[in-house]
């Protein structure tokens, strides 16, 4: 009679756990039998490299004998090892592996080629030697490049701590051994059965079937008799071959290695990370014919192309076979909130062009698994970039509300929609485990509407990617009764299947995909944000001026050469630093040293390119007298007060002094009121100021600043106590006691964990107004063109704010030029404007449009958005009246119950302990308005604040016109945002316009430069099929266009 035991689930599970444990009972368990016949290397030598050098440089190094147990460092250093290996004769027929653990990331080189990455901290420590050596070979010579960092950097005390700069890493293993593949298979059998038994719910009998099968399998194995292994494996096979019914959920598994382009390591390390990760991927592709790998970010392909041409050729080959799959279509996986509209377009333009040029492949899906929120303008930008599908998972990180869908239509502010999917496992680094597969189906919110979901497997963030183990696990899960079917597929398979079968039943989400976490990233690293905005505008200006210079030169047979390569290089630098850990301010200090170097490069080069273009358009004649000229790089005529410069060392000085001085400001600069036409220039002709501004002191204290539009009362702390529009009595600021406009407030800012990333809801309860003047407000300028005050406020014993508050003749806003000396620890500085406006919602400037969010805390969805992103302005309006806040470099806002707040500075300490410490300068402004923000010109005013009129000294040839407009639009509802040379023709310009009010309209664009042909194109500059006719009418130099709300239209003009 067979003896039947009563089985206890818990002990049975734990028995299996210990049977394959890498820690417990290894001397008597199956895991302990994974490797046998260990042998030392024939020789091991080492060379401490002077930095990240190439292979050919490295092998010329002086290699000295070393051994296991030695330590190598410090952090970020590179060490090369030379390994001589002799495989003993008796192991000739066995599968022999090199086992190497330097407890860092490392790369194996063979015959000058990178062949496989290793990473001690992710247990990737074996290199299959037999395969690498080929048949009948017994000797092998390898190099190993050791990078002194882990996959996720070298954080001190915690993962996101600033790097421990003096860490050393011990080489704990360097030997060869026989790999027992049968034992390996059994370990994976036991693990999979164990996980099914453990994670399947009690009502599912299948879990118990797994438990009993697993137990039987363990009983069958005799560790001293390997002939029992095959029989045990068959028991598992029989179980895994029991199939599902047809209705089972299908998981589309795709290999992935989320690679942060820089984060807890510098850019230069990412270059090597790509080689380490992708060489592993290629080895796995050779081994597993159905394994596919998705890989985004053109920049990283470019790095591999430049630094590892052999590996790149292998990648190209697998791309051709459809298995190494470029995805995303962007230059890098950028931040989804902060880049400008044009920068978004360029991410796709340069990304898609790269994939087309290199692989003849255009991506059809946007891939952004790890960004901290998604602008509601992205769907349209995807659509104009040849993309109709979108994948992310980051919203699963939201703290308060669960997003209600995983597969849905995402619709942007203009009505464009894209088919979107969030892999329901809530991760982009799955490992092929049963628990993840069960979580995927459990979480999936669109059951009944769709029966499929994506599963991204492979270690991520620092790269590394899929492992052999993961692929073996998934083989077992392919179609096993009780679990979703796990099939190796591509993004194309997934989205096409949805489009074919499910789209009719999918729900729709309109507007922003707001992440209820990481909302400090709109503010952290203020200088990076400032430089990003500044460089976006400088590149805009250079694009415009160089385009004009180029076309004039082509038409007049001039000698100007368009700086195609240089502008592309600069744009790519800007786009690189919009990566989703750089621009948000969440990288280590080393990354920001690089980023600021890049910004400096952009600014310096833009200055040169601007001046070259200007000289080509207007200068050149050394014989003529220099004149002062004002350039307007925006698409409407502007009348403003300009600052000429300090009156010294300029050839045009004399002329100005005698003819043009209208006001000398407190710094000795010359101010003048000028009018300059749209996208054009005017020779400086100071206008007589008919409506001067003024400043006076009221008997009870406050200063009164006044011009033809606005009157502001400002107290000794620089706070606005009253703000009225000319002809009205109404105070735009709240009259409640204790409420002041331009009130600085300081908050405690201690998040739960993600220091640089997070500001938590409770920070709002720690508000402290700054109310101590170091130096009370005093008058600087008294008009007639500019009046101003200066005030200095105490933040703490180490920090202070100095602010110049000014009003110009003809200006609709009070401008606050601010300098902050900032040395705080986990404090958050904001400025408040409590308004008298009654409204349910506030409006924020975003990419090519604006977006409304609530001004109240009704629901959890409202109050979770206590900090939101916006670009150049935000407005609170009621019927026929409102207040706007403009800024030149800020992105964080919080508007609640009529109080508008602009976020200014944070002071997190991880991962950069020095983040935001030091001196900051920025400008914001407050603008009350009558009517709507659209009709009052808030949008244009914000552009003007960001892109002041530019004064230059030029030597125009005799007879040059005194003023010139190259491009203009007759309707303020349409902004001509971009004027650029097309990427593929010197004689074509691309013009990008958008509807900025949020309504239908017609607009006529007028060009000074005669063109031959105009057609509509998309963001990739490809002519649209009906590009000749649709909504486009040409009469002479006028092009009339019809716009729908927030529509972006790109035109391609032939000259």
Q: Is 724 helix (H, G, I), strand (E, B) or coil?
A: strand
**Shortest approach of Zn ion to residue 911 CB, angstroms?**
13
**Which of residues 195 and 370 has its CB atom nearest to Zn ion in the complex?**
370
**Shortest approach of Zn ion to residue 261 CB, angstroms?**
8
By CB under 5 A, the count of residues binding Zn ion is 2
What is the C-alpha separation between 249 and 252, in angstroms, rounded?
10
Q: Where are the beta strands (DSSP E) in 491-573?
A: 507-510
**Which of residues 370 and 808 has its CB atom nearest to Zn ion in the complex?**
370
What is the C-alpha separation between 832 and 893, in angstroms, rounded?
10
**Which of residues 262 and 526 has its CB atom nearest to Zn ion in the complex?**
262
What is the C-alpha separation between 549 and 560, in angstroms, rounded?
7
For residue 521, what is the DSSP state? G
- Per CB under 5 A, 516 contacts Zn ion: no
The closest alpha carbon to 875, from 807, 812, 827, belongs to 812
**Shortest approach of Zn ion to residue 260 CB, angstroms?**
4
The region of 93-101, 370-378, 494-502, 544-552 touching Zn ion under the rule CB under 5 A is: 370-378
**Shortest approach of Zn ion to residue 252 CB, angstroms?**
22
What is the C-alpha separation between 26 and 276, in angstroms, rounded?
30
Sheet order of strands, 1001-1007 included: 967-969, 1001-1007, 1038-1043, 1032-1035
**Shortest approach of Zn ion to residue 344 CB, angstroms?**
18
Angle at 808 between CA 804 and CA 810, to 5 degrees: 155
What is the C-alpha separation between 781 and 800, in angstroms, rounded?
23
What is the C-alpha separation between 897 and 883, in angstroms, rounded?
14
**Which of residues 458 and 928 has its CB atom nearest to Zn ion in the complex?**
458
What is the C-alpha separation between 880 and 935, in angstroms, rounded?
10
Helix axes of 298-307 and 341-359: crossing angle, nearest 10 degrees: 50
**Shortest approach of Zn ion to residue 95 CB, angstroms?**
36
Q: Which of 180, 185, 189, 370 is catalytic?
A: 370
The closest alpha carbon to 350, from 543, 606, 575, 577, belongs to 575
For residue 6, what is the DSSP state? P
Q: Point out which residues pair with 804 in neighbouring strands.
A: 790, 817
What is the C-alpha separation between 61 and 66, in angstroms, rounded?
15
Angle at 928 between CA 922 and CA 932, to 5 degrees: 115
Q: Which residue is nearest to Zn ion (CB)?
A: 370
**Residue window 842-871: x/- pattern of binding to Zn ion, with contact defined by CB under 5 A:** ------------------------------
**Shortest approach of Zn ion to residue 750 CB, angstroms?**
24
**Shortest approach of Zn ion to residue 383 CB, angstroms?**
25
**Which of residues 142 and 368 has its CB atom nearest to Zn ion in the complex?**
368
**Shortest approach of Zn ion to residue 518 CB, angstroms?**
11
Task: Give the residue ranges of DSSP H helices in 415-488.
Answer: 434-443, 468-476
Angle at 529 between CA 412 and CA 52, to 5 degrees: 110
CB atoms within 10 A of CB 126: 20
**Which of residues 397 and 409 has its CB atom nearest to Zn ion in the complex?**
397
What is the C-alpha separation between 67 and 474, in angstroms, rounded?
38
**Which of residues 302 and 461 has its CB atom nearest to Zn ion in the complex?**
461
CB 534 within 8 A of CB 574: no
What is the C-alpha separation between 476 and 456, in angstroms, rounded?
17
Q: Point out which residues pair with 884 in neighbouring strands.
A: 875, 927
- Per CB under 5 A, 195 contacts Zn ion: no
**For residue 74, cis peptide bond before it (omega within 30 degrees of 0):** yes
Residues between 867 and 886 with contacts to Zn ion, criterion CB under 5 A: none
The region of 87-95, 362-370, 643-651, 705-713 touching Zn ion under the rule CB under 5 A is: 362-370
**Which of residues 461 and 516 has its CB atom nearest to Zn ion in the complex?**
461
**Which of residues 120 and 463 has its CB atom nearest to Zn ion in the complex?**
463
What is the C-alpha separation between 345 and 540, in angstroms, rounded?
13
**Which of residues 460 and 834 has its CB atom nearest to Zn ion in the complex?**
460
**Shortest approach of Zn ion to residue 976 CB, angstroms?**
35
For residue 66, what is the DSSP state? -
Residues between 227 and 266 with contacts to Zn ion, criterion CB under 5 A: 260
- Per CB under 5 A, 370 contacts Zn ion: yes
Backbone φ and ψ for 590, nearest 5 degrees, come out as -55, -35
**Shortest approach of Zn ion to residue 303 CB, angstroms?**
17
Per-position DSSP letters for 946-985, written without gaps between them: HS--EEEEE-PPTT--SEEESEEES-TTEEEEEEEE-SS-
What is the C-alpha separation between 723 and 725, in angstroms, rounded?
7
Q: Scan for tokens 């002062």, then name that residue.
A: 628
**Shortest approach of Zn ion to residue 256 CB, angstroms?**
12
**Which of residues 176 and 264 has its CB atom nearest to Zn ion in the complex?**
264
Q: Scan for tokens 């990180």, then name that residue.
A: 397
CB 252 within 8 A of CB 453: yes
CA 768 → CA 339, 745, 827, 832, distances in Å? 31, 5, 11, 11
For residue 42, what is the DSSP state? S
**Which of residues 260 and 342 has its CB atom nearest to Zn ion in the complex?**
260
Q: For residue 10, how far is the Cα from the chain centroid?
A: 46
**Which of residues 370 and 543 has its CB atom nearest to Zn ion in the complex?**
370
First to last CA, the chain: 96
Backbone φ and ψ for 509, nearest 5 degrees, come out as -120, 125
**Shortest approach of Zn ion to residue 159 CB, angstroms?**
13
950 an active-site residue? Answer: no
Active-site residues, by number, are 370
Chain residues binding Zn ion by CB under 5 A are 260, 370
């Amino acid at each position: 009679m067979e003896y039947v035991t009563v089985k206890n689930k818990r002990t049975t599970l734990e028995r299996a756990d210990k049977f394959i444990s890498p820690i417990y009972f290894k001397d008597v368990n199956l895991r302990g039998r994974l490797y046998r016949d260990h042998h030392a290397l024939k020789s091991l030598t080492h060379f401490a490299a002077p930095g990240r050098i190439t292979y050919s440089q490295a092998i010329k190094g002086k290699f000295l004998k070393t051994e296991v147990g030695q330590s190598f460092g410090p952090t970020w250093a590179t060490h090369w090892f030379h390994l001589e290996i002799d495989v003993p004769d008796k192991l000739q027929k066995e599968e022999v592996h090199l086992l190497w653990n330097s407890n860092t990331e490392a790369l194996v080189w063979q015959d000058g080629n990178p062949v496989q990455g290793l990473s001690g901290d992710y247990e990737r420590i074996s290199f299959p030697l037999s395969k690498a050596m080929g048949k009948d070979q017994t000797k092998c010579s390898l190099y190993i490049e050791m990078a002194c960092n882990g996959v996720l950097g070298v954080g001190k005390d915690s993962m996101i701590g600033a790097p421990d700069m003096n860490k050393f890493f011990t080489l704990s293993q360097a030997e060869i051994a026989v790999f027992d593949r049968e034992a390996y298979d059994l370990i994976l059998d036991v693990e999979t059965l164990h996980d099914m038994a453990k994670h399947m719910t009690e009502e599912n009998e299948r879990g118990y079937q797994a438990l009993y099968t697993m137990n039987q399998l363990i009983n069958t194995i005799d560790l001293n008799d390997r002939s029992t292994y095959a029989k045990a494996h068959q028991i598992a096979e029989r179980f895994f071959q029991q199939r599902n019914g047809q209705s089972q959920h299908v998981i589309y598994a795709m290999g992935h290695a989320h690679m942060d382009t820089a984060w807890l390591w510098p850019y230069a390390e990412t270059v090597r990370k790509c080689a380490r990760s992708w060489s592993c991927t290629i080895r796995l592709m050779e081994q597993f014919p159905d394994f596919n790998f998705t890989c985004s970010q053109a920049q990283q392909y470019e790095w591999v192309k430049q630094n590892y041409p052999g590996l790149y050729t292998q990648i190209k080959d697998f791309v051709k076979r459809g298995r190494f799959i470029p995805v995303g279509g962007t230059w890098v996986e950028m931040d989804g909130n902060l880049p400008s509209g044009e920068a978004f377009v360029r991410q796709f333009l340069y990304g898609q062009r790269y994939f087309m040029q290199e692989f003849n492949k255009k991506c059809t899906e946007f891939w952004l698994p790890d960004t901290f929120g998604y602008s509601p303008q992205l769907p349209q930008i995807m659509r104009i970039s040849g993309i109709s599908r979108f994948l992310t998972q980051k919203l699963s990180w939201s703290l308060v509300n669960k997003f209600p869908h995983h597969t849905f239509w995402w619709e942007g502010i203009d009505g464009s929609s894209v088919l979107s999917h969030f892999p329901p496992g809530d991760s982009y680094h799955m490992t092929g485990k049963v628990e993840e597969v069960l979580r995927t189906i459990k979480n999936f919110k669109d059951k009944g509407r769709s029966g499929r979901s994506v599963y991204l497997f492979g270690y991520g963030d620092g790269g590394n990617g899929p492992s052999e183990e993961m692929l073996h696990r998934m083989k077992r899960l392919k179609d096993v009764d009780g679990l979703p079917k796990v099939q190796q597929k591509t993004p194309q398979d997934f989205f096409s299947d949805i489009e074919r079968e499910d789209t009719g039943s999918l729900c729709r989400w309109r507007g922003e995909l707001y992440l209820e976490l990481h909302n400090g990233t709109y503010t952290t690293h203020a200088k990076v944000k400032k430089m990003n905005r500044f460089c976006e505008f400088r590149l805009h200006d250079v694009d415009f001026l160089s385009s004009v210079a180029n076309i004039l030169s082509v038409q007049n047979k001039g000698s100007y050469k368009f700086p195609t390569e240089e502008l592309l290089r600069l744009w790519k630098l800007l786009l690189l630093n919009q990566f989703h850990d750089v621009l948000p301010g969440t990288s280590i200090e080393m990354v920001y040293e690089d980023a600021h170097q890049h910004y400096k490069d952009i600014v310096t080069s833009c200055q040169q390119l601007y001046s070259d273009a200007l000289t080509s358009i207007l200068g050149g004649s050394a014989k003529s007298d220099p004149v002062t000229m004002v350039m307007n790089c925006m698409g409407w005529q502007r009348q403003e007060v300009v600052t000429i410069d300090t009156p010294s060392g300029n050839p045009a000085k004399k002329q100005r002094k005698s003819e043009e001085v209208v006001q000398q400001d407190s710094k000795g600069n010359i101010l003048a009121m000028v009018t300059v036409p749209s996208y054009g220039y005017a020779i400086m002709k100071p206008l007589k100021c008919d409506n001067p501004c003024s400043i006076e002191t009221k008997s009870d204290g406050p200063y009164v600043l006044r011009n033809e539009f606005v009157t502001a009362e400002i107290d000794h702390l620089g706070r606005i106590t009253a703000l009225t529009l000319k002809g009205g009595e109404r105070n735009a600021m709240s009259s409640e006691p204790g409420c002041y406009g331009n009130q600085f407030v300081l908050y405690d800012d201690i998040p739960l964990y993600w220091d640089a990333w997070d500001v938590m809801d409770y920070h709002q309860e720690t508000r402290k107004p700054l109310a101590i003047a170091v130096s009370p407000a005093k008058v600087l300028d008294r008009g007639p063109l500019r009046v101003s005050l200066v005030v200095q406020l105490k933040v703490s014993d180490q920090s202070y704010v100095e602010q110049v508050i000014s009003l110009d003749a003809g200006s609709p806003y009070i401008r606050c030029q601010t300098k902050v000396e900032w040395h705080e620890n986990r404090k958050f500085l904001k400025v408040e404007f409590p308004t008298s406006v009654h409204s349910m919602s506030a409006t924020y400037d975003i990419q090519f449009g604006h977006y409304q969010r609530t001004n109240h805390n009704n629901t959890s969805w409202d109050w979770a958005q206590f900090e939101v992103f916006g670009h150049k302005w935000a407005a609170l309006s009621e019927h026929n009246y409102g207040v706007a806040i403009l800024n030149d470099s800020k992105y964080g806002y919080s508007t609640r119950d009529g109080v508008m707040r602009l976020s200014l500075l944070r002071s997190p300490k991880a991962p950069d302990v020095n983040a935001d410490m030091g001196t900051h300068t920025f400008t914001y402004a407050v603008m009350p308005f009558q009517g709507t923000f659209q009709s009052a010109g808030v949008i244009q005013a914000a552009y003007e604040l960001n892109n002041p009129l530019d004064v230059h000294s030029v030597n125009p040839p005799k007879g040059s016109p005194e003023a010139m407009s190259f491009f203009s639009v007759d309707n303020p509802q349409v902004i001509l945002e971009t004027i650029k040379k097309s990427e593929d023709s010197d004689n074509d310009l691309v013009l990008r316009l958008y509807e900025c009010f949020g309504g239908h309209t017609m607009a006529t664009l007028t060009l000074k430069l005669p063109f031959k042909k105009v057609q509509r194109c998309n963001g990739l500059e490809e002519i649209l099929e009906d590009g000749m006719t649709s909504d486009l009418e040409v009469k002479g130099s006028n092009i009339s266009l019809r716009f729908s709300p927030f529509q972006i239209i790109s035109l391609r003009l032939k000259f």
